[in-house]
């Protein structure tokens, strides 16, 4: 399929109008996934809508309760943002190790989420930080947690008339960390990754959220670990009980796959590194 036309709208409203007018169109963010997809013909489009000229999608904004990321915020912006570093260490850490400098300059957080790769770096971070996705079209604006979006992906998946405009992350004063095990560190898309977020009071776990990536079709939260950990001492997180819950999550998620025996062992080390990363940082 040939590209017939490319548009460069300047506002989100224009994007929504274009999406409703032209079927067979694709939104272009940084292009690091889409261009490869179009070249290999895994993706098809007649119209391209380039979002590179929409200032409102490129902002990181902050108020007392939350930080809002425009969907066109790049990994370089995340890596260079003092606000992100101070509030969401996991996201900062993921941006630091994502791709190469050239990829980070182009690749956006919105593209990472919408592309929905099993090993996408940002998704476990946004999941564990309880991020909310704002998805808009001419018909409606919907708001859905990143966790629910991927839990019910076939139902909630963004449709061809919709644009992901923002990701809202609540500020909860929690510690967060991220770790990925890649084939070749920075240039490798993660083989396994994990993001964690926790609030500890006097050595007791008050809240915890743990997301695991590249161990299933989509990243997911370890609901059982989160339930069992609450009210326990911090040391519990390093013990056999916690590790076997995570191992079992991975076993259940990818049983039957060739990679399962390796991944169910490796995930324990990846999780411990993410935890360490959270605890050594602010």
Ligand X SMILES: Cc1cc2nc3c(=O)[nH]c(=O)nc-3n(C[C@H](O)[C@H](O)[C@H](O)COP(=O)(O)OP(=O)(O)OC[C@H]3O[C@@H](n4cnc5c(N)ncnc54)[C@H](O)[C@@H]3O)c2cc1C
By CB under 6 A, name the binding residues for ligand X.
26-34, 71, 98-99, 103, 106-108, 110-112, 114-115, 117, 120-121, 158, 163-164, 187, 189
Using the minimum distance from each CB to ligand X, give the nearer residue, 136 or 249. 136
Using the minimum distance from each CB to ligand X, give the nearer residue, 74 or 242. 74
d(CA 100, CA 186): 6
Residues, the chain, total? 282
Using the minimum distance from each CB to ligand X, give the nearer residue, 187 or 280. 187
132's enclosing H/E stretch is strand 132-136
Residue 67 CB, nearest distance to ligand X (Å)? 17
C-alpha torsion 53→51→78→59, nearest 10: 60
Using the minimum distance from each CB to ligand X, give the nearer residue, 5 or 206. 5
Residue 45 CB, nearest distance to ligand X (Å)? 8
Contact 208, 226 (CB under 8 A): yes
CB contact set of 211 (below 8 Å; sequence gap of 6+): 123, 124, 125, 127, 128, 194, 195, 196, 219, 220, 221, 222
Contact 177, 143 (CB under 8 A): no
Using the minimum distance from each CB to ligand X, give the nearer residue, 40 or 173. 40
Question: Which of helix, strand or coil describes residue 109?
Answer: helix
Residue 199 CB, nearest distance to ligand X (Å)? 27
**Main-chain phi, psi angles of 86, to 5 degrees:** -75, -35
Residue 49 CB, nearest distance to ligand X (Å)? 8
Closest CA to 166 of 276, 57, 17: 57
Using the minimum distance from each CB to ligand X, give the nearer residue, 127 or 243. 127
Contact 268, 246 (CB under 8 A): yes
Residue 176 CB, nearest distance to ligand X (Å)? 17
Using the minimum distance from each CB to ligand X, give the nearer residue, 58 or 276. 58
Residue 222 CB, nearest distance to ligand X (Å)? 20
Q: Which token pair is 230?
A: 């609450």
Cβ-proximal residue to ligand X, closest one: 111
Residue 201 CB, nearest distance to ligand X (Å)? 33
């Amino acid at each position: 399929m040939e590209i017939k036309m490319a548009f460069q709208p300047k506002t989100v409203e224009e994007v929504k109008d274009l999406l409703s007018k032209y079927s067979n169109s694709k939104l272009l963010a940084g292009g690091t996934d889409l261009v490869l997809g179009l070249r290999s013909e895994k993706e098809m489009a007649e119209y391209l809508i380039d979002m590179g000229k929409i200032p409102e999608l490129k902002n990181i904004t902050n108020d007392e309760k939350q930080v809002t990321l425009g969907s066109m915020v790049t990994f370089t912006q995340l890596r260079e943002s003092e606000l992100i570093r101070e509030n969401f260490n996991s996201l900062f850490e993921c941006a630091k190790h994502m791709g190469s400098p050239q990829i980070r300059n182009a690749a956006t957080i919105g593209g990472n989420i919408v592309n929905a790769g099993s090993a996408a770096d940002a998704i476990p971070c946004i999941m564990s930080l309880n991020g909310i996705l704002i998805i808009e079209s001419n018909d409606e604006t919907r708001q859905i947690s990143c966790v629910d979006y991927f839990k019910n992906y076939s139902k909630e998946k963004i449709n061809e008339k919709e644009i992901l405009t923002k990701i809202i992350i609540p500020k909860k004063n929690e510690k967060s960390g991220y770790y990925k095990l890649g084939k070749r560190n920075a240039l490798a898309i993660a083989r396994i990754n994990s993001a964690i977020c926790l609030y500890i009071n006097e050595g007791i776990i008050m809240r915890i959220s743990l997301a695991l990536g590249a161990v299933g079709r989509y990243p997911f939260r370890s609901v059982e670990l989160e339930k069992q950990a609450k009210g326990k001492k911090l040391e519990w997180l390093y013990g056999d009980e916690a590790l076997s819950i995570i191992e079992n999550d991975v076993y259940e998620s990818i049983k039957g796959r060739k990679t399962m025996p390796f991944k169910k062992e490796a995930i324990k080390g990846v999780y411990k590194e993410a935890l360490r990363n959270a605890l050594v940082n602010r």
